[in-house]
C-alpha cells in the first residue's frame, strides 16, 4: 500500500518576532496600560510617561516659530515697499538687495523653527509608548514612578509574537537528498508538531525555509517550519517532536 515518508526530529518553538519595548525618551513612568501575560495588538498603548516637560518644549518651539513668522512677514512687507520706491528712483538698490537677503534669512529661521516644532511634537508622541508588534507581553521590567531612559537595557516589557509561530529543527545530512527531492515538487511540505511523549498532536504547519549550508560540526542542516498556532498550543522555547512529511511511496511493501 502507499507508505508515508517522514523525517523525525526534535524541534524548538521559536517566536516569529520578539521585541523589547523601550522608551525613546527619558521621563517618569506614570501609567501602564497592560497586564503581564496579556495579548496585545500592534499600535496598542502600553505605557505613558509624564508629558508635561515635552508639552512645555513644544510650547516654546511654537512661540519661537510665531515670533519669527511675524518678523518674516514684516520683512516681506518692507521689501515690497522698497521695490516700489526703487521703481521711483527714491531708494538705493543696495538697500533693496539687503532687505531681500534679510527676507531669505528669516525664511531660513522659520524653517529651523518649524523643524524644532516638529521635533518637539515628535518627542511628545514618544511619551506614549505603543506596542510595535502583536503578541504576548511578558513580565514588566519597571514599576510606576521610576525614571525610564532610552538607553535602558531591559526596557519596559518584552513582546513575543505567537500567531503565527515557528519551529526550528535539524535533520541529518543523509536525509538531505530525499528532502530536496520532495521540496522541489512541493515547497510547502506539511510539518506536524507532537508533544514530548510523541502521543498528542499539538499543531500542523508547513515548511518555511531550509538553511543555505550544512553545519559541519554536527552534520545536520537547519529547517524552519511555520505554524498558525490559532489555539496557542505552541509556546516559545518549548521542545516538540517534529514530523516532516515528504509525501508517500506508492504501492510499497510494508
Q: In this predicted structure, what is the pLDDT of residue 249?
A: 81
Instruction: Encode pLDDT of 115-136 as tens digits.
Output: 999 999 999 999 999 999 999 9
Going by pLDDT thresholds of 50, 70 and 90, the confidence category of residue 143 is very high
Pick the closest to residue 243 from 210, 212, 204 (CA basis): 204
Mean pLDDT within 1-22: 90
- Is the distance from CB of 137 to CB of 34 less than 8 angstroms? yes
Above 90 in pLDDT, residue 254? no
Which has the minimum average pLDDT: 9-13, 59-63, 83-87?
83-87
Mean pLDDT within 186-203: 91
Q: What does the alpha-carbon distance between residue 75 and residue 99 come to, in Å, rounded to a whole number? A: 7
Which helix (H) or strand (E) segment holds residue 185: the answer is helix 176-185
> How much is the pTM?
0.76
What 3-state class would DSSP assign to 165?
Answer: strand
Above 90 in pLDDT, residue 10? yes
- Is the distance from CB of 150 to CB of 25 less than 8 angstroms? yes
CA angle 143, 148, 150 (to 5 degrees): 145
Q: What does the alpha-carbon distance between residue 153 and residue 207 come to, in Å, rounded to a whole number? A: 35
Mean pLDDT within 139-163: 92
Amino acid at each position: 500500500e502507499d507508505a508515508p515518508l517522514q523525517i523525525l526530529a526534535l524541534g524548538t518553538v521559536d517566536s516569529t518576532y520578539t521585541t523589547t519595548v523601550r522608551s525613546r525618551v527619558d521621563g517618569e513612568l506614570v501609567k501602564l496600560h497592560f497586564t503581564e501575560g496579556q495579548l496585545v495588538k500592534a499600535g496598542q498603548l502600553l505605557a505613558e510617561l509624564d508629558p508635561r516637560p515635552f508639552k512645555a518644549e513644544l510650547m516654546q518651539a511654537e512661540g519661537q516659530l510665531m515670533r519669527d513668522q511675524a518678523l518674516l512677514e514684516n520683512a516681506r512687507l518692507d521689501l515690497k515697499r522698497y521695490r516700489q520706491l526703487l521703481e521711483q528712483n527714491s531708494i538705493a538698490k543696495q538697500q533693496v538687495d539687503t532687505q531681500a537677503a534679510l527676507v531669505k534669512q528669516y525664511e531660513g529661521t522659520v524653517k529651523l523653527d518649524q523643524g524644532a516644532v516638529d521635533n518637539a511634537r515628535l518627542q511628545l508622541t514618544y511619551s506614549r509608548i505603543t506596542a510595535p508588534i502583536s503578541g504576548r507581553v511578558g513580565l514588566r521590567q519597571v514599576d510606576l514612578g521610576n525614571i525610564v531612559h532610552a538607553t535602558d537595557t531591559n526596557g519596559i516589557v518584552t513582546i513575543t509574537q505567537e500567531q503565527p509561530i515557528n519551529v526550528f529543527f535539524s535533520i541529518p545530512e543523509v536525509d538531505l537528498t530525499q528532502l530536496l527531492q520532495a521540496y522541489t515538487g512541493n515547497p510547502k511540505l506539511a510539518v506536524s508538531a507532537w508533544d514530548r511523549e510523541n502521543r498528542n498532536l499539538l499543531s500542523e504547519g508547513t515548511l518555511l525555509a531550509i538553511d543555505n549550508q550544512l553545519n559541519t560540526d554536527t552534520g545536520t542542516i537547519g529547517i524552519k517550519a511555520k505554524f498558525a498556532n490559532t489555539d496557542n498550543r505552541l509556546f516559545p522555547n518549548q521542545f516538540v517532536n517534529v514530523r516532516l512529511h515528504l509525501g508517500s511511496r506508492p504501492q510499497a511493501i510494508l
